[in-house]
Amino acid sequence: MSKYVTGKVKFSYANLSGAMDPGQDATYSVCLEIPEGEQLQEIRQAISDAVQEGIDTTWSGRKPEGLRLPLRRDASGAYYINTFSHQRPGVVDRKSNAVDPGKVVSGCQGRASLTFFPYRSGSSCGIGAGLNNIQLSGKF
């Protein structure tokens, strides 16, 4: 697993409340919009490290065809990563004081602690982006 703490990013589609439907397992997620720059190269390197780990441990010594990667680019040219976790991520403010996860809404900015990991699920292989913690720093 390749761990990475982002620089300043924009949060969208935040679901840090847990299960959306009764009876479902809690899943927490947020989309991170990544600005271009040095941070983008660091994220690509962390993903590359996770790919190498997958080759070594998960995919029998070779990189699968059609490998799904978490870093995407939308039609406007913005880069983003959809992150998730089955455990509630910690959320803090600039001074590391605990914050209600409900305060993380679209348009907030901050940093996120991520873990990139290889997976194989049936015929699908890729790199997932696990969400560990969030530090809020304001709104866009």
What residues have CB less than 8 Å from 15, skipping those under 6 apart? 27, 28, 29, 30
Domain count, the chain: 1
Give the span between the Cα atoms of 124 and 36, in whole angstroms: 29
Contact 9, 33 (CB under 8 A): yes
**Mean pLDDT across the stretch 63-77?**
93
pLDDT tens column, 99-129: 998 889 999 999 999 999 999 998 899 999 9
Helix (H) or strand (E) holding 46: helix 38-57
> The domain containing residue 14 runs over which residues?
2-139
pLDDT, tens digit (0-9, with 9 covering 90-100), for 18-61 = 656 677 788 899 999 998 888 999 999 999 999 999 999 999 99
CATH of the domain at 85: 2.40.50.140
